[in-house]
Structures are given as C-alpha cells and as structure tokens.
A = this chain, B = another copy of it.
Amino acid sequence: MTSSASTFPLPPGSTIGILGSGQLGRMLAMAAARLGLKCHIYADGPGPAFDVAAATTIAPYEDETALAAFASAVPVATYEFENIPLPTVAFLSNRIPVRPGAQALAVAQDRLNEKTLARDLGFMTADFAPIDSLADLEAGATKLGLPAILKTRRFGYDGKGQAKILSAADIKSAHATMRGQPAILEKFVEFQSEVSVIAVRGADGAFAAYDATENVHRNHILHTATVPANLKPKAQSAVIAAAKAMAEAVDYIGVLAVEFFALDMARQEVLIINEMAPRVHNSGHWTIDACTTSQFENHIRAVAGWPLGSTARHSNAVTTNLIGADHDGWAKIAADPGAALHLYGKNDARPGRKIGHVTRLSPK
C-alpha cells in the first residue's frame, strides 16, 4: 500500500529513488537523466550507479532511519535487483509508492511462487515440487523423475544456489548445498533454445512488449541476446501474452522480463515459463541501441507515471556480455566501427563479473 501525496506523472526535475547501485541502476539513472529526471541511489555500498546519480545514500537495506530519510527525499522508489529484502520494500511502501510493488516482488523473488502463478494462469512450466527437507527431496525425485535440478526458492541468480541431481546418489549432497534454505525441485527440461520477453506495464495498466530475444548462456551467465528470436509470429504472440498475464496478475508497474524454454523449435508450440525477473534485464540491453525507447527509459516512465514509450525497434541486434576476463578487450571492441560498447565503470574485474556489453546492429 502507498500513501503518497505526490502527483503523477512526476514532472521533469523530480527525483526517482533507486535501490541498488549496480550497472542496472546506472543505466536506469542515465535513462532518467535523458528525461530530465534526477536519481537518488540507495545502496549498501557504492557502485557503478553512483557516478551518474544526483544523490546517493549508503546504508544497510535494513536501516529504517536511513530508509525513512530516503522516503522523505523521493516521491517514488524502484529497485534494480530482485533480491532486495521484501521488508525493505514493505517499509518504503508505507511511505511512498514503490514500483514494482511488494506483491509483484513476493512472486518474482520466489521460484515456487512464480511457477505456481504461471501454472494458475494456465501456462506451462517444468514440473516442480517444493522442498523443505531431505524427505521432501527424496519424495520429489521419485514423483518428478530424474534428472532434476534443486534450486533455492530465493536469492539465486546466474546459476548460483543450484544443484543438479542426475541420479539418486546425488540427492544427499544436493540437499546439503541448500544449507537448509527453502528449495524447489524442478524436473530437468531438455530445451532447444531460451527466449525472453522484456515487457513494461504502466501505472495505468497500459502494456507493451519488445520483440522476444533469443538467449545463449555460457557458464550459467548470459552470453548473447539476439533479436529477432527464431520464433514464428504465433509463438512470439504466445510468449508476449504470457508475460502480459503474469504482469497483470500481480498488478505490475515497470519493466519485467519473463524467460521461456523452447522445447521444440520445429513445432514452436512448447514454450514453458522458466522465470520472471521484476526488473530491467540483461537480455534487454539491446533496446538501448535498437529502439527509440530503451527498457531503462520505459521502466523510468512507468515508475514516474509517464505514458509508456514505443517498444518498436529500428534494427536487428546482437548483444554480447563482457565478463570479468574480457576487461582488457575494450580497446579492440572500441575500434570495431559497428560495435556499440557499454562499460559499467567497474574498477575490479573479478572472473564472472559483468563489466559491460556490446551491441551490434544490423538492418531489419
């Protein structure tokens, strides 16, 4: 619930509060600046977003004094990562609108909730079972069949918090890696490709989606995102309709990403929902260069109560993530005349850390 006296749409010159100081917050702040809006970044430590923000707060996400001051300073808040503690969002929501809201976050940050919602809405997902104990896991493995993947319900990303169970011999060790956290067992899905839909829903319920993106991962981290995806129009409509239904079910405001596994590319009929991210998404970075309105701008527009911008694209695009070890490759990419290089200003380049991306456009 919200109790704000602010008038939406927020006029230019207003300040958007953003929880999180990473590269997504940085790109959100840059999109806000383009619209004449300022950003106030709240994070538990400095990060790439600080360099382009009009104001910053460093405090723990549990610091209610700092959160209250933040809520006094901004008329609306959003967040750049789904692992933001739900109590933080609930605390702020009693003072100012937080977009997307706590309901959407509660679904999206819990794999069991999001899969249950998808099923309730009539969409396909991998078969799954909630796992709270070793007994649950043993029963689940029998019920679903193996191979399967055990995942923490919350706080997983880029393959973290996951354990493969190829045979019954793996059950005990997989359970141990969960360290007692609530988990979900998902039947292993043999998919041929992964696609994602980046969509946006406005404060007025308006909905728009970018063309679906086809994603390739390496070492559990997104490697390339290509648009258009190799999807026929009917399949593309189906995934966008699913994203819309998910967004409406949780009264979503802002940009969300829904990931799908395509089981049979020849028939293109079996697209199952993998997960939903309540934020701008790595697979949508191509929208910066290939669209008039990027995913970042559309998120800011939704959060500020503005009309949504067009999701049309003027070009085809391939975005490649730059990961830790790619750090020294910037000079070569900078010299590639067709490459739109985006670096996040991270001083350290730990292995596996996303330090930038490069998008290459081609005519539609």
Chain A interface (Cβ < 8 Å from any Cβ of B): 9, 11-13, 26, 29-30, 33-38, 50-52, 54, 289, 292-293, 301, 306-307, 309-310, 312, 314-315, 330-331, 334-335, 337-347, 356, 361, 363
Contact = CB atoms under 8 A, between A and B. Distances in A.
Nearest to A308: B337
Contact of A35 (B9, B52, B315, B341): B341
Contact of A330 (B12, B292, B330): B12
B337 A309 contact: yes
Contacts of A347: 13
A82 to B, nearest CB: 24
12 contacts: A9-B331, A12-B330, A12-B345, A30-B30, A35-B334, A35-B341, A36-B330, A36-B343, A36-B344, A292-B361, A312-B337, A314-B314
A33 to B, nearest CB: 5
Contacts of A306: 331, 334
A326 to B, nearest CB: 12
Nearest to A309: B337
Nearest to A29: B52
A18 to B, nearest CB: 14
A232 B341 CA distance: 33
B30 A51 contact: no
